[in-house]
Amino acid sequence: MAWLLAICPVLGIIAMAMSASHLVPIAISLLTGDGMTALFAVSMALNFILGCALWLLTRTSRRELQIREGILLITLVWIGGALFACVPPRGGIGLSFTDAYFESMSALTATGATLLDGLDHLAPSLNVWRAQLQWLGGMGVIVLVVAILPMIGVGGRQISKAEIPGPMKDDQLTPRVTQTAKGLWIIYFALTLACFASYFAAGMSWLDALIHSFTTISLGGFSSHDASLAHFDSIGIELVAIVFMVLACINFASHFRAWQERSVRVYRYDSELPYFMVVLAASVIGIAIFLWANGVYPDLASTLRYAAFNTISVATNTGYATTDYARWPVFAPLWLMFLGTFVACSGSAGGGIKMIRAMILYRQVYREFTKLAHPSAVTPLKIGDRVVPDQVVFSVLAFFFAWLATLVSMTLLLTLSGLDAITAFSAIVASLNNIGPGLHQVGPAANFSVLNDFQTWVCTVTMLLGRLELLTVLVIATPAFWRK
Amino acid sequence: MKIVILGAGQVGSTVAESLVSEANDITVVDTEPLRLQKLQERLDLRTVTGNAAHPAVLELAGARDADLLLAVTQSDETNLVACKLAATLFNIPTRVARVRAADYLSHPEIFSDQNFAVNHSICPEQILCDYIVKLLEFPESLQVLEFAGGKVSLVAVRAFHGGPLVGREIRYLRQHMPQVDMRVAAIFRHDSPIAPEGTTVVEADDEVFIIAATENIRDVLRELRRMDQPVRRVMIGGGGNIGRRLAQAIEDHYEVKIIEYHKTGAERLAAELGRTLVLVGDVTDEQLLQTENAGEMDVYCALTNDDETNIMSALLAKRCGARKVIALINRGSYVNLLQAGQIDIAISPAQITIGTLLAHVRRGDCVAVHSLRRGAAEALELIAHGDMKSSRVIGRRVEQLDLPKGLTIGAIVRSRGGDHEVLIAHHDTMIEAGDHVIVFVVNKQMVASVEKLFQVDVSYL
């Protein structure tokens, strides 16, 4: 078990970094005088002491990580991170451990499902803390999906290997990841800054702008208001949100390249982008027409406004709402949930199957049709100009099956515990794809507080599974993973 | 003319064969003594065994006083190096190289005199591919050739029973289509040429060569053949160099299927091609042709590198019901056996390529040469130089020229202030200095008299 020790110092360092991240809410707390300073100071100290102890005790066994250690580390980072992040909500609002852990996991996985009521009256530092957790989680996710998962090749992720700049080395998590991560974070940071400035210019207070820029770029969706973005009722703010949600949902590897080459032309090589844009645009128009035909809104302008914002918010897995879209005629919210399962581009903080896998799955089906009609045909599966190796296709199929199996089994577990079908199904879809709000009892107008402890844990686990692309977590449960 | 040919492969030997009959001094260089020996047994030429990219070998081949170097070995690199050597060491004035790699061709500056010193690069596969593309575009023609940068076209069509052409005099065409100017350059009946006159009556199965401005070709063909259905579905047998190029060129315009024998080759093809359906299998497998609906094809092209396979495959496709079959056939004897039979068009790669090379061999200012009917006939594009005194053609009407029987002046392209005007030659058309004249000869022996006709009088200079 010596190899397990190798990841402990890394976990220690991450805990210490988490403790440093308490500085922002502490500053906010001091500025606004909301009385949470002591709580955050305690939490910060706790994080630091635990992290430091872990690091000191195990630092001698630190070495270059192998793939197996990497996989375990990724999962432990999210489980442990959510654990450490439990302290402020537990101390500040008095949530039970289950609820606090759910809230932390929802934040760190950039899901955006909440079981808190009265966000408007919550201490500003706590609101910032939640938003910042999402922002950090999104940061981790982007490095994970752009730099680390392709190397491990989870669920066909190796397809995006070519998208990562620089030479590839398959066997180790090399220092190059650090380089890539730095570049990605600069872009992430710059986007957040631009988003903050835009929100502020569109009329948000600086605190709201900070919170919402954090949760927009990470596609998280936490808001400092129970009414989410409907609170502002401002077309300007909604437009800013739409632009940045879409930008943040595009593959960050493409942003990275565009930044490296100082040219927007590189986006042409992003094979997901056109599909992402077309599906999004078509859905907005389709939903608008559907709502208009059903007479949901009195005039065309507001129909388009609500259709565009809520569709893009759910499709990009952000989860803001400007209206209770769960009350729309049932086709519309279901379509939104469906979009949320696959629209996000592969290198973003969005969740779900991802556009690239959906494209591969679709083409694999089409390929089988061709094979049936022309038995001697050679039909490579192509994305852009590149042939996707069969190995990748199998990985994607395995991923899809795992995704589907999780969806079904978790939904069944929730219904077993007594939830109604729509709530259970939509809660799992929202958790598994890191969307945020579901429908019915857990819809945008309500929250996850209706769930009992068992149900909350089911959703928590589902969020983690979905965030870490299922196989990364599930593989840990296999005997093969632990075999020497 | 002293000509050095590097490479005794398919192209090299055909060129040698074609040129040797025109009283040229020819030396062929190849690394393979056996190939050279075979060539020497048949033809009156000199051979040198050795690496064509070595100065000593070139020297031995008589590069010192050669007029023309044709570097047509299998290797692009050898050809390029040989051209450079020929320019630097031996001062051979004209150097032609076969260059196939698209990578080289996409950087034309490397052929300049400072670099590889290639006057003209040719890519036989590309020429063939372009040729077949033209045939698909005009499915009713046997051959479509272009002159003067595509301004003028020469098409060959077969007259068939019930067609508008058969049983009528040629001058009827003029009345029939007064708006389109064209000229019947030659008629071949049972493989022998007939000099066409206004009163000549076209019979079924005649091969009719017509010259017209390219923009009018479609109208002309529509009148002559009552237009077959346009081509929509194409099947290609053989995914080699030519098949792949063809598929790439046409896959956006037609529904294309391509059959390749080797699995790895097929996989590579499928990766490179976009909309083409790539099939693995034997092109002579009737079962495969049937399941893949060869019978529904508008055109089937057998383009493997094996003559027999191509013939068999094309015959099978025809029997399955393909509307038109095209086969690539290298051996002249096979071509003669088949042309009028079930294979609609037999393409001889070497004959098509050779035209490009012949343009450099011809005396006079010859722009383009197309070898026709397996090299028996020729169509040339020449530029008339000089004035009334020094030239035999300038300032004279076509009827005033002393033209041998079987030689037709088809069209003239005259540039007027940057514009190119196409004049279809009639008895009263006047030839001016600088005109591009398109001449058709039914017999290659007459090429010499064409050259003489267009030569500028030396005493004048």
Q: Residue A376: which of B267, B269, B280 has the nearest Cβ?
A: B280
Instruction: Label residue A168 by pLDDT band (50, 70, 90).
Output: very low
Chain B residue with the nearest C-alpha to that of A367:
B277
C-alpha to C-alpha distance for A360 and A343, rounded to whole angstroms: 13
Is A404 among the domain residues? no
Domain boundary residue, one of B62, B92, B122: B122
Chain B residue with the nearest C-alpha to that of A389:
B271
CB proximity A480 to B under 8 Å: no
A387 neighbourhood in chain B, CB within 8 Å: 270-271
3-class secondary structure, B174: helix
CB-based contact A378 B269, cutoff 8 Å = yes
- What is the pLDDT of chain B when averaged over all its residues? 85
User: Considering its fold, how many domains does chain B have in total?
Assistant: 3
Is A61 among the domain residues? yes
**Widest CA span in chain B:** 70
Mean pLDDT of A209-226: 94
Tell me, what DSSP letter sits at residue B248? H
For residues B9, B13, B15, B21, the Cα torsion angle rounded to the nearest 10 degrees is: 180
- Whole-number pLDDT of residue A169: 33
Q: Which of A48-52, B98-102, B248-252, B258-262 has the lowest mean pLDDT?
A: B98-102
B416 vs A456 pLDDT, higher one = A456
B266 neighbourhood in chain A, CB within 8 Å: 378
Closest listed residue to residue B220, CA positions, set B141, B286, B330, B327: B141
Is B257 among the domain residues? yes
Instruction: Label residue A172 by pLDDT band (50, 70, 90).
Output: very low
CB-based contact A376 B292, cutoff 8 Å = yes
CB-based contact B291 A375, cutoff 8 Å = yes
CB proximity B267 to A under 8 Å: yes
CB proximity B266 to A under 8 Å: yes
Which one of B292, B293, B296 makes the best mutation probe of the A interface by having the most chain A beta carbons within 10 Å? B292
pLDDT of residue A164 exceeding 50, the answer is no
- Whole-number pLDDT of residue A1: 64
Per-window interface: B 291-320 vs A, CB < 8 A: 291-292
pLDDT of residue B70 exceeding 60, the answer is yes
Per-window interface: B 245-264 vs A, CB < 8 A: 260, 263
Sign, Cα dihedral of A70, A76, A82, A87? negative
A377 neighbourhood in chain B, CB within 8 Å: 277-280
A382 neighbourhood in chain B, CB within 8 Å: 271
Q: Which of A7-16, B26-35, B196-205 has the highest mean pLDDT?
A: B26-35
Distances in whole angstroms, Cα of residue B392 to Cα of each of A248, B387, B403, B448, B455 = 77, 9, 11, 14, 8
Mean pLDDT of A333-339: 95
CB proximity B278 to A under 8 Å: yes
In percent, how much of chain A has pLDDT > 90? Answer: 64
CB-based contact A376 B269, cutoff 8 Å = no
Mean pLDDT of A266-291: 93
C-alpha to C-alpha distance for A387 and B141, rounded to whole angstroms: 39
Is B130 among the domain residues? no
Tell me, what DSSP letter sits at residue A144? I
A462 CA to chain B: closest CA distance, Å?
A: 39
Mean pLDDT of B448-458: 77
CB-based contact B279 A380, cutoff 8 Å = no
CA A106 and chain centroid, separation: 9
pLDDT of residue B225 exceeding 80, the answer is no
Sorted by sequence, the CB contacts under 8 Å of residue B190 that are 6+ apart come out as none
CB proximity A478 to B under 8 Å: no
Q: Residue B279: which of A378, A382, A387 has the nearest Cβ?
A: A378
A347 CA to chain B: closest CA distance, Å?
A: 25
CB proximity B277 to A under 8 Å: yes
Segment (H or E) for A283: helix A273-293
B348 vs A370 pLDDT, higher one = A370
CB-based contact B277 A377, cutoff 8 Å = yes
B255 CA to chain A: closest CA distance, Å?
A: 15
Long-range pairs for B317-320 at CB < 8 Å and ≥24 separation? B317/B235, B317/B237, B317/B289, B318/B342, B318/B343, B318/B344, B320/B286, B320/B289, B320/B290, B320/B294, B320/B295
**Dihedral pair phi/psi, residue B302, rounded to 5°:** -95, 110
Is B204 among the domain residues? no
Number of H helices, E strands in chain B: 15, 22
Sign, Cα dihedral of A88, A91, A96, A97? positive
For residues B67, B72, B76, B80, the Cα torsion angle rounded to the nearest 10 degrees is: -10
Task: Describe the strand order of the beta sheet including B46-49 as a list of residue ranges.
Answer: B46-49, B25-30, B2-6, B68-71, B94-98, B120-122
For the record, the structure tokens of A323 come out as: 């209206």
CB proximity B271 to A under 8 Å: yes
Is A113 among the domain residues? yes
A166 CA to chain B: closest CA distance, Å?
A: 24
Is A164 among the domain residues? yes
Closest listed residue to residue A423, CA positions, set A434, A412, A439: A439
**Dihedral pair phi/psi, residue A198, rounded to 5°:** -65, -40
Per-window interface: B 125-144 vs A, CB < 8 A: none
Closest listed residue to residue B67, CA positions, set B115, B119, B113: B119
pLDDT tens profile B156-186: 888 777 777 778 888 887 777 777 888 888 8
Q: Which of A263-272, A448-457, B50-59, B241-250 has the lowest mean pLDDT?
A: A263-272
**Dihedral pair phi/psi, residue A156, rounded to 5°:** 80, 15
Do B263 and B318 have their domain in common?
Answer: yes
CATH at B107: 3.40.50.720
Do B363 and B307 have their domain in common?
Answer: no
Do B11 and B105 have their domain in common?
Answer: yes
Please measure the distance between the N-terminal and C-terminal CA atoms of chain A and give it in whole angstroms. Answer: 9
- Residue B92: domain span: 2-122
Tokens 């005194």 found at? B389
Closest listed residue to residue A247, CA positions, set A291, A171, A193, A283: A193
Instruction: Label residue A294 by pLDDT band (50, 70, 90).
Output: very high
pLDDT tens profile B295-346: 899 999 999 989 999 999 999 999 999 988 999 988 877 877 775 568 888 8
CB-based contact B263 A375, cutoff 8 Å = no
Do B394 and B303 have their domain in common?
Answer: no
C-alpha to C-alpha distance for A72 and A74, rounded to whole angstroms: 6
- Whole-number pLDDT of residue A158: 67
B349 CA to chain A: closest CA distance, Å?
A: 28
Is B83 among the domain residues? yes
CB proximity A378 to B under 8 Å: yes
B270 neighbourhood in chain A, CB within 8 Å: 378-380, 387
- Whole-number pLDDT of residue A155: 66
Is A91 among the domain residues? yes
- Whole-number pLDDT of residue A323: 92
- Whole-number pLDDT of residue A167: 34
B278 neighbourhood in chain A, CB within 8 Å: 377-379
For the record, the structure tokens of A46 come out as: 């706790």
B271 neighbourhood in chain A, CB within 8 Å: 380, 382, 387
In percent, how much of chain A has pLDDT > 70? Answer: 94
Is B342 among the domain residues? no
Do B309 and B370 have their domain in common?
Answer: no
Is A200 among the domain residues? yes
**Dihedral pair phi/psi, residue A386, rounded to 5°:** -95, 140
Closest listed residue to residue B154, CA positions, set B201, B101, B214: B214
Mean pLDDT of B268-279: 92
Do B6 and B79 have their domain in common?
Answer: yes
Single-letter code of the amino acid located at A77? V
Do B312 and B415 have their domain in common?
Answer: no
Is A229 among the domain residues? yes
CATH at B361: 3.30.70.1450
Cβ atoms A274, A282 nearer than 8 A:
no
Chain A residue with the nearest C-alpha to that of B274:
A385
User: Considering its fold, how many domains does chain A have in total?
Assistant: 1
CB proximity A389 to B under 8 Å: no
Instruction: Label residue A249 by pLDDT band (50, 70, 90).
Output: very high
B280 neighbourhood in chain A, CB within 8 Å: 376-378
CB proximity A367 to B under 8 Å: no
Burial string for B192-229 (b: 16+ CB within 10 Å, else e) reads: ebbebeeebebeeebbbbbbbbbebbeebbebbbeeee
Do B111 and B6 have their domain in common?
Answer: yes
Mean pLDDT of A456-472: 93
A166 vs A186 pLDDT, higher one = A186
C-alpha to C-alpha distance for B250 and B132, rounded to whole angstroms: 10
Is B192 among the domain residues? no
CB proximity A60 to B under 8 Å: no
pLDDT tens profile A52-89: 998 898 888 777 777 888 888 889 999 999 998 988 88
B277 neighbourhood in chain A, CB within 8 Å: 370, 374, 377, 379
How many CB pairs lie under 8 A apart between chains A and B?
34
Instruction: Label residue A170 by pLDDT band (50, 70, 90).
Output: very low
Is B327 among the domain residues? no
3-class secondary structure, A435: coil
Mean pLDDT of A153-171: 52
Is B180 among the domain residues? no
Domain boundary residue, one of B280, B300, B322: B322
For the record, the structure tokens of B187 come out as: 């008629």
Do B283 and B388 have their domain in common?
Answer: no
Single-letter code of the amino acid located at A57? L
Closest listed residue to residue A95, CA positions, set A125, A124, A117: A117
Which one of A366, A371, A374, A376 makes the best mutation probe of the B interface by having the most chain B beta carbons within 10 Å? A376
CB-based contact A374 B280, cutoff 8 Å = no
B280 CA to chain A: closest CA distance, Å?
A: 5
Do B361 and B310 have their domain in common?
Answer: no
CB-based contact B271 A377, cutoff 8 Å = no
C-alpha to C-alpha distance for A106 and A467, rounded to whole angstroms: 10
Is A324 among the domain residues? no
- Residue A251: domain span: 2-266
